[in-house]
A and B are shown apart, each in its own frame.
Chain A
Amino acid sequence: RKEVEQDPGPFNVPEGATVAFNCTYSNSASQSFFWYRQDCRKEPKLLMSVYSSGNEDGRFTAQLNRASQYISLLIRDSKLSDSATYLCVVNDDRAGGNQFYFGTGTSLTVIP
């Protein structure tokens, strides 16, 4: 079983739509959780951290359910500029040290 699993999509949504991405992780001892955004042929960039209490940053809302080992990202009022791949990231120390385990990413295209 993969450490982090995501629906790869693609998700094609019209501008203004609300879209949700989900992610599950396998290690219940995982400590930190993030969503990264990656544009085509670019490096991943931190979108937001994910906290158990849930957190919101403008149009973006992230949720963590530790009991179900489930992470979500909600994007409201989608913009063309939101088109990218969204990577679910879990941070733990299974291999020693501190490393990220990435999902395969979910592709989003926002259509005019």
Chain B
Amino acid sequence: DAGVTQSPTHLIKTRGQQVTLRCSPISGHKSVSWYQQVLGQGPQFIFQYYEKEERGRGNFPDRFSARQFPNYSSELNVNALLLGDSALYLCASSLANGVGYTFGSGTRLTVV
């Protein structure tokens, strides 16, 4: 059974550009969350979606947006990229709210 899959694995963008990251949860998982991990820090919560509705939003600017599709896959969009957006972006899925998450291997974004 496939785990959480994310694409692309690596990405290089220039400042001001926009990026879309994709995530497919484990089959049957309806909750998807996005996290940003900067080098040397723990992951920081960005968004959570459950049953295609946004259920939580972390302390990130409006340049960050996300959505969840009917098949429970999800996209994270970041507009007007800044150098500080360079990080590992992790997607995690869980069966339901309040249950432990399984993480994908992440998308490593570099903004130059």
Contact = CB atoms under 8 A, between A and B. Distances in A.
A3 B59 CA distance: 13
A106 B43 CA distance: 13
B95 to A, nearest CB: 12
A42 to B, nearest CB: 7
A96 B55 contact: yes
B74 interface: no
B102 A46 contact: yes
B42 A4 contact: yes
A16 to B, nearest CB: 28
A13 B75 CA distance: 41
A101 interface: yes
Interface residues of A, number: 24
A43 B103 contact: yes
A104 B102 contact: no
A32 interface: yes
Interface stretch (A52-60, A71-79, A87-95): A87-95
Interface in B68-112: 90, 92, 97-98, 100-106
A95 B56 contact: yes
A15 to B, nearest CB: 26
Interface in B17-70: 31, 33, 35, 40-45, 48, 50, 54-59
B6 to A, nearest CB: 9
A69 to B, nearest CB: 17
Contacts of A34: 100
Given A43-B104, A45-B103, A46-B100, A98 B43 contact: no
The 5 closest A-B pairs by CB, nearest first: A97-B56, A97-B55, A102-B42, A97-B48, A43-B103
Interface of B: 31, 33, 35, 40-45, 48, 50, 54-59, 90, 92, 97-98, 100-106
Given A95-B56, A98-B48, 6 more contacts: A32-B98, A43-B103, A97-B48, A98-B97, A99-B48, A102-B42
